[in-house]
Structure 1
Amino acid sequence: MNEEDLNQGLRDLMERSTPPPSMDPSHALVRGRTARRRRRLAWSGIAVVPLVAGIGAGPALVASLSGGGPAGDLVATGSTTPKPVPTATRKSGDPWPEGQTDRTASAGPRVVRVVKLMDDLSSSVPPGFSTPDLKGADGHPLRYPQAQYASNDGEQDYWEYAATIPVERGGRVGRLLMNSTTPDGKSATEPCKLAKRFRGGTGTCSVVDVDGKKVGVVTTKGHSDYDQWATYRHEDGTVVILAQARRFEDQQRPPLTQPVFTSRQLAELVTSAKFKISE
């Protein structure tokens, strides 16, 4: 290859490159609304980058109850072996998947999966606790399942399934959240670093070994919406979080006097196959 060929190749590459997306002021409003709704529903499992071009969905799922092409190959200088680039399937302006009108699934198999997740969580509470169908001060159910398409621009498709339930004992009410996120193509990280991505990560973290599986358990001492949570990343990249709080702030009953689960029980539950949703 001579100098003229090299220059021509560079010009061709620049012409084929996709221009950066334009700045849209409406995105900031969308991100703010989405963040506010996620705080209210205790939904945001693993911390993600701000959502782009979407409206946070609402109670449609509650009424229902009843998942681009490759980015190309990058060839290292002086090598003839292609180096694959992770697939990025989400682009600005792409329609929502599976005929959805926004990020939240309101029907179909994803709703079935997240309702089962909620039921499995309810059946896992220790003796002496119950999971009644309570309503908050605003009249909305405190039991809430949600399946959400979570991919942002430049990311492969992945989904978040979350179930929030009230837990009662002796007229006192606390809260549990189970979150299962399908593989998102991101690199693995050490257990406590992963665990501290949830809810801002304020608190102390310890690693609990469950039959060789390393689980990050964070204790906040009252400095978060949740008092404690456990996080585990399965080998295929599925991430499961179980969080507990002695208080459920959306209702008027007094808080629990003790946690629902011990640290060990939290760690064991997040490694359980029944809470792993990988598709």
Structure 2
Amino acid sequence: MIFDASMKIKMRLSTPLFSLVVLCSCIVYGQSQWRPLGEVTAVEKLANGVELSAAKTRVRITVLAPNVVRLRYSAEGNFAPDQSFAVLPGAFPESPKIQIEDSTNAVVVGTGDLQVRIEKSPMRVAFLDPHGQVISEDHPRYPVSFDGSAFQVWKSMPLEEHYFGLGDKTGPLDRRDLAFTTWNTDIGYQESTDPIYKSIPFFIGMNKGSAYGIFLDDTYRSSFDFGKQFWDAYSFGAEAGELNYYFFYGPDPKRVVSDFTQLVGRTPLPPLFSLGYQQ
């Protein structure tokens, strides 16, 4: 009987607490002038992907390899010239075969290794494995949004998922429950200082041994929040620039890293004499 009574007390306390957390989350999201994508109004099939319109925003999703997908968002509907300081031109020269299914509620792009499902109302992107299991998806409560030149992407964060990457950062190897800024700052720092001197906007998500990676190709000051703001969502965004990111599916983390380095380039092995007295 004592156990039952304590459980009832916990339930009474947890219900208003949960409601307060949800309310605070909505208030935080509402404080900024974020403009969500809204509903898909047009779909155009491409040879290597699909292009969608949602109000004045255009989204171009292209398949570079069976497990590598690029997503570009133009808030005003006009894509800038395709150029990058990080990505190698022609990194994936062979376009894979894809299948595109356009139904009333969603568009599905299949590669054999991966499915990209774009829900139409409201627009929301999900990545699924060949068995239809969700690998990663846009958060249903916090859609991809724009605020002037800034943008933010929120993804659902499973309880057992963990995050690694972003280059040289202080803190633990697992980035879950932490938030970071990528903006090179070479000053004296302590264990919790952020940002510091290196910006690599790439991370790996691991869930029950299955891995995927996301690379945000943006040179502006950007942010990565792995559940510090919302307990069930992680996010990434930047102050300006085009929302342009790449999704890599493993499920082996070695494959994710290999495809990422194929995209941005690999450091050649230096000759032995260049190591000097460290030989």
Q: TM-score, normalised by structure 1?
A: 0.31
Q: Specify which structure has the higher proportion of helix.
A: 1
Q: TM-score, normalised by structure 2?
A: 0.31
- Larger-Rg structure: 1
